[in-house]
Amino acid sequence: MSKRWKPSVTVAAVIEKDGRFLLVEEHTPEGLRLNNPAGHLDPGESPQQGAVREALEETTCTFVPDRLVGVYLARFRRPARDEDVTYLRFAFGGTCGEADPARSLDTGIVRTLWMTLDEVRASVNRHRSALVLQCIEDYAAGRRFPLDAVYCDPTVFVPEIKPG
């Protein structure tokens, strides 16, 4: 019997302000990399809620999604750790407020930075994955789907019941 394939579900925030996109610089096994504010979906949250949480944790800014930019599937291979992971990413576009000086950036995040589309394109060799640029390109091209395109059944929000 073969092992069941289970892609890792991630969420991302694509935030643009005055022609610049908010990115994070983070420590990864491959060194310092640039990424959209993004991370894994947690149990008990919708993809939209996950994107809001990740943006706050990684940028200290409150993210307000107003669109689904897209759903992406990508495979990442890390030979040094014998890892082969497929990611299913929900990317949301929206706005954010100012950074909250009372909060600190999530572990592993070095800094946030605002980059133009040309700067993002020019730094592709520093991106955490190909999805960083793809999500921004789709946002810049005007891709916009309604937030309710992602349905989240109420059972997602029921606390886990542990046996015995």
Q: What is the CATH number of the domain that holds 112?
A: 3.90.79.10
Nearest Cα neighbor of 120 from 111, 110, 132 is 132
Asked which of 49-58, 80-89, 91-100 is least confident by mean pLDDT, the reply is 80-89
Q: Is 105 exposed, middle or buried (0-12, 13-18, 19+ CB in 10 A)?
A: middle
In a domain, 53, yes or no: yes
pLDDT in tens, 106-115: 999 999 999 9
In a domain, 2, yes or no: no
pLDDT, residue 132, reads 98
For the residues 49-65, what does the mean pLDDT come to? Answer: 98
Q: Is the pLDDT of residue 81 over 80?
A: no
d(CA 32, CA 64): 27
Residue ranges in the chain assigned as alpha helix (H): 47-59, 117-122, 130-140
pLDDT in tens, 15-40: 999 999 999 999 998 899 999 999 99
pLDDT in tens, 146-156: 999 999 999 99
In a domain, 1, yes or no: no
pLDDT-derived band of residue 4, with 50, 70 and 90 as boundaries?
confident
| Average confidence score pLDDT of the chain | 94
pLDDT, residue 1, reads 54
pLDDT, residue 29, reads 87
Q: Is the pLDDT of residue 164 over 70?
A: no
Does this model's pTM top 0.85? My answer is yes
In a domain, 3, yes or no: no
CA distances from 25 to 28, 75, 99, 129 (A): 10, 21, 16, 13
- How many other CB atoms are there within 10 angstroms of residue 28's CB atom? 12
In a domain, 110, yes or no: yes
pLDDT, residue 159, reads 83
- How many other CB atoms are there within 10 angstroms of residue 97's CB atom? 10
Residue 69 structural domain: 8-157
Bigger pLDDT: 58 vs 5: 58
Domain count, the chain: 1
d(CA 103, CA 93): 23
3-state helix, strand, coil in the chain (%, to 5): 25, 40, 35
